[in-house]
Chain A
Amino acid sequence: MSSAEDRDKSQRMEDEWSTEYAKMVGRFGDAAPKQATSPRSQSGLPLKSAYFPHDLDGIDVEEQIGRPGGFPFTRGNLAAQHQLMAWANQPVIGYGLAEQTRERMDYLESQGMIGYFGQRFYNLVYDLVSHEGLDPDHPAARGRIGQVGMGIYNVRDMERLFDGMDLRKINVVHITYYQTIPALAQYIAYGEKMGVRPDELRGNSMNWYHQSAYVGMSAFPADQGLKLATELISYCSKHMPKWNTTNFFGYGIEEAGGNAAQETGLMIAVGREIARACIAAGMKADDFLPRFGFQFSQANDFFEEISKVRAMRRMWATTMHDEFGARDPRSMHVRIHSHTSGAVLTAQQPLVNLIRTSIHALGAVIAGTQAMEVSAYDEALGIPSVEAHTLALRVQQVVQEETNVTAVSDPLAGSYYVEALTDQLARKAMEIADEVEKQGGFVAAQQSGWIRSEVEATSEQWREQVNSGERRIVGLNCYKVEENQEHEVFAVDPSLEQLAVERIQELRATRDNDRYEKAIAGLHVAAAEFAKAEVADLGSDRLMEASIEAARAEASTGEMMAVLKEHLGWAAPHEF
């Protein structure tokens, strides 16, 4: 507010509104819905039913909002949002073996899937067998080969997948869980084979060890995970300047049932932990921070999800600047891959999901995303069909080409509501991040089970609200129909399992066994040493180098993971 006089005017407006509003509520009496009398955001933050200029009183417009492209980047990383460069289409791709995945990559590209300035982007997810770090002939691989991701297990599979592509000209995201280092090693080794140096490779590693704090898949112990993440960042900061090393998996928090404040607050917490580890290992903030990225969920509460992204940009920039000495603007940018929420989609009346994802995608664009995956409408039924995958891409294209929301940077800036909510979320999220610090940092808060129980409590609350009907979900607890329609579900060809098994056996039979044995022995030595190392001892990159050598020697990802599991430990991360 510019003056006391303006403030009084604003307050008078609110008073007048408030009187009228109370009268209207009174007229509806007890029938007035709860959201009319005590409105809350979906993460539980108290809202007002209308906002006024003085609601921005506690917010410093210059320091906390700024301009698009200016610190603290609340309004976006760059001056231009989508005017010159649309976000990258990054549908998640991966099913079957190399050939099936490649077919879907080529198909989606033919349908207009495109990255920044026309670059080719491929957002590739590995299958369940890879995530568990197994080979396809392991007994637990049955029924899981090429499921929910691609069965790419070694350098030869990489050759089949990228056959004929120039790796220098494509950007490849490797969606791995805890097999991040072996998967990157395979890609580097494949690149070398094709005459492409690591410093020419573009793409992403997920480096998602932190997700074991809130996701129940088997994992390395939390402290070893932090070191593995640091190892990859250290190697890439020296040898792969174009490689995005780490993705902060906020999405997983909302998918696990957490809310917007938890999603962003916990990402600040893990950001602090990893930044501290990198500095302890001898790196400088401006050397590793520019290669960090984020994945956030875009879920149902339209304004809250947009405000969340704006709040995250402000919090990250401020934290990295103030606490870690970041000075390069790129070190303070939150580069976002938006993933529309899968958890809020329903198996009931699945086509309705297209409406939901369209709203989510619109929100992600308004929030200023850099890349996007729109969930397929049949997500709650199985692996996306070709039709569902195509329609998900069309959602992005409609928002981009037809709505004109791309004309203006940060179009909701200055909205009393959105600015107030952005500030409210930033405060709430920083409380969560600071609570984690008090507990000794992200790894400690994971080890104590605090993170999981916080997220789970929110998840259960959500579920109770759905059960009681307080939270309404179309097709699930209201507007229901008899679900007798059979939906055609996409299925992976079961004969591919046999092929995957034959291929891994052929690999073992035909690779240079002496070289393999030597490389695996080297990996054992490096892993044993790594297991005992403190974070501050890292920086020699011996584990990365040994992994790359193992990949060159045609070790499979499963074989490398077996070595890592043996030395670092591997277990389900949460008790019940």
Chain B
Amino acid sequence: MEQPIRVLLAKPTHDSHDRGVRYLARVLRDGGFEVVFMNFLLPEDVLSAATQEDVDVIGISSSAGGHMHVFIEIAQALKESGQQDVLLMGGGIISSSDVKKLRAEGVGRIFGPGSDPDEIKSYIRENARVATGTRN
């Protein structure tokens, strides 16, 4: 049987906009993914949860700004610890210029408001390390 893809979805504690990310958590779980959902204060919190839960994908939701250093620090920490095969992606209200910068930092796709959940599922299936066979 195929190994389920493990996804950590994380939203900052101070961001009240969690409707999208919680919906996505439900959709992914119903779609056969293993989902861990958390609120976080610091990027470190996300990293330690990701390691502890041994996830293949980290999805950061941000709809109130303040996301740049979160993505960048997580991306760097993944690289430094040899976990660049963990797919880091995002969603929420993130401007197109921020998206460009994040992509350049190696962050995966950012799904804005109104994104099609099927497209997100396919994206994860095609790019998670389980699917690409890169999981250690």
Q: Would you call B26 and A216 a contact (CB within 8 A)?
A: no
CB contact between B39 and one of A257, A476, A572 (< 8 Å): that residue: A572
Q: Would you call A217 and B65 a contact (CB within 8 A)?
A: no
B41 / chain A contacts, CB cutoff of 8 Å = 132, 140, 218
B112 / chain A contacts, CB cutoff of 8 Å = 347
Q: Would you call A139 and B42 a contact (CB within 8 A)?
A: yes
Interface core residue of B16, B35, B114 (most chain A CB under 10 Å):
B16
Please, how many angstroms separate the alpha-carbon atoms of A343 and B20 in the complex? 10
A391 CB within 8 Å of chain B = no
Q: Interface residues of A, CB < 8 Å — how many?
A: 43
CB contact between A144 and one of B18, B39, B66, B113 (< 8 Å): that residue: B66
Shortest distance from the beta carbon of B107 to any chain A beta carbon, whole Å: 15
Please, how many angstroms separate the alpha-carbon atoms of A255 and B16 in the complex? 10
Give the interface segment out of B51-59, B67-75, B128-136.
B67-75
* Between-chain CB contacts (< 8 Å), 29 pairs: A128-B12, A128-B14, A128-B64, A132-B14, A139-B42, A140-B42, A144-B12, A144-B66, A177-B16, A216-B11, A216-B16, A216-B18, A216-B22, A216-B39, A346-B113, A347-B112, A347-B113, A347-B114, A380-B93, A380-B113, A381-B93, A382-B65, A382-B93, A382-B95, A383-B65, A467-B116, A473-B114, A491-B95, A492-B65
Closest to B26 in A: A460
Interface residues of B (CB under 8 A from A): 11-16, 18-19, 22-23, 25-26, 35, 37-39, 41-42, 64-70, 93, 95-97, 112-114, 116-117
CB contact between A459 and one of B11, B23, B25, B38 (< 8 Å): that residue: B23
Contact (A128, B66) CB under 8 Å given A218-B39, A347-B113: yes
A489 / chain B contacts, CB cutoff of 8 Å = 95-97
Q: Would you call B39 and A148 a contact (CB within 8 A)?
A: no
Q: Would you call A576 and B25 a contact (CB within 8 A)?
A: yes
Shortest distance from the beta carbon of A175 to any chain B beta carbon, whole Å: 12
Contact with B along A271-288 (1 / 0, CB 8 A): 000000000000000000
A257 / chain B contacts, CB cutoff of 8 Å = 19
A444 CB within 8 Å of chain B = no
Please provide the chain A residues from 459 to 491 with a CB less than 8 Å away from any CB of chain B in the complex: 459-460, 463, 466-467, 473, 476, 486-487, 489, 491
Shortest distance from the beta carbon of B113 to any chain A beta carbon, whole Å: 5
Closest to B73 in A: A142
Contact (A460, B66) CB under 8 Å given A215-B16, A572-B13: no
Interface core residue of A177, A380, A487 (most chain B CB under 10 Å):
A380
Please, how many angstroms separate the alpha-carbon atoms of A139 and B66 in the complex? 12
Shortest distance from the beta carbon of B29 to any chain A beta carbon, whole Å: 9
Q: Would you call A346 and B13 a contact (CB within 8 A)?
A: no
Extra contacts, 16 of them, besides A147-B66, A218-B39 (Cβ < 8 A), are A128-B15, A128-B66, A129-B14, A132-B14, A144-B64, A217-B39, A257-B19, A343-B19, A380-B93, A382-B65, A382-B93, A460-B23, A476-B114, A486-B96, A486-B97, A576-B25
Q: Would you call B13 and A459 a contact (CB within 8 A)?
A: no
A255 / chain B contacts, CB cutoff of 8 Å = 19
Please provide the chain A residues from 121 to 135 with a CB less than 8 Å away from any CB of chain B in the complex: 128-129, 131-132
Closest to A347 in B: B113
Q: Give 7 closest A-B pairs by Cβ, nearest first.
A: A143-B66, A144-B66, A576-B37, A147-B65, A572-B39, A132-B14, A218-B13
Closest to A477 in B: B114
Please, how many angstroms separate the alpha-carbon atoms of A222 and B133 in the complex? 46
B39 / chain A contacts, CB cutoff of 8 Å = 216-218, 572
Q: Would you call A143 and B95 a contact (CB within 8 A)?
A: no
Please, how many angstroms separate the alpha-carbon atoms of A129 and B66 in the complex? 10
Contact (A217, B23) CB under 8 Å given A346-B113, A489-B97, A572-B39: no
Please, how many angstroms separate the alpha-carbon atoms of A473 and B117 in the complex? 16
Please, how many angstroms separate the alpha-carbon atoms of A522 and B112 in the complex? 47
Q: Would you call A576 and B22 a contact (CB within 8 A)?
A: yes
Please provide the chain A residues from 426 to 473 with a CB less than 8 Å away from any CB of chain B in the complex: 456, 459-460, 463, 466-467, 473
Interface core residue of A129, A132, A140 (most chain B CB under 10 Å):
A140
A142 / chain B contacts, CB cutoff of 8 Å = 66, 69
B13 / chain A contacts, CB cutoff of 8 Å = 132, 217-218, 572
Please, how many angstroms separate the alpha-carbon atoms of A491 and B95 in the complex? 10
Please, how many angstroms separate the alpha-carbon atoms of A456 and B20 in the complex? 11
Please provide the chain A residues from 516 to 569 with a CB less than 8 Å away from any CB of chain B in the complex: none
Please, how many angstroms separate the alpha-carbon atoms of A486 and B98 in the complex? 12
Closest to A257 in B: B19
Q: Would you call A218 and B68 a contact (CB within 8 A)?
A: no
Please, how many angstroms separate the alpha-carbon atoms of A452 and B120 in the complex? 25
Please, how many angstroms separate the alpha-carbon atoms of A139 and B68 in the complex? 14
Contact (A467, B117) CB under 8 Å given A143-B65, A144-B66: yes
Q: Would you call A144 and B14 a contact (CB within 8 A)?
A: yes
CB contact between B114 and one of A144, A252, A346 (< 8 Å): that residue: A346
Contact with B along A245-285 (1 / 0, CB 8 A): 00000001001110000000000000000000000000000
Shortest distance from the beta carbon of B18 to any chain A beta carbon, whole Å: 4
Shortest distance from the beta carbon of B35 to any chain A beta carbon, whole Å: 8
A42 CB within 8 Å of chain B = no
A216 / chain B contacts, CB cutoff of 8 Å = 11, 16, 18, 22, 39
Closest to A346 in B: B114
Shortest distance from the beta carbon of B24 to any chain A beta carbon, whole Å: 10
A11 / chain B contacts, CB cutoff of 8 Å = none
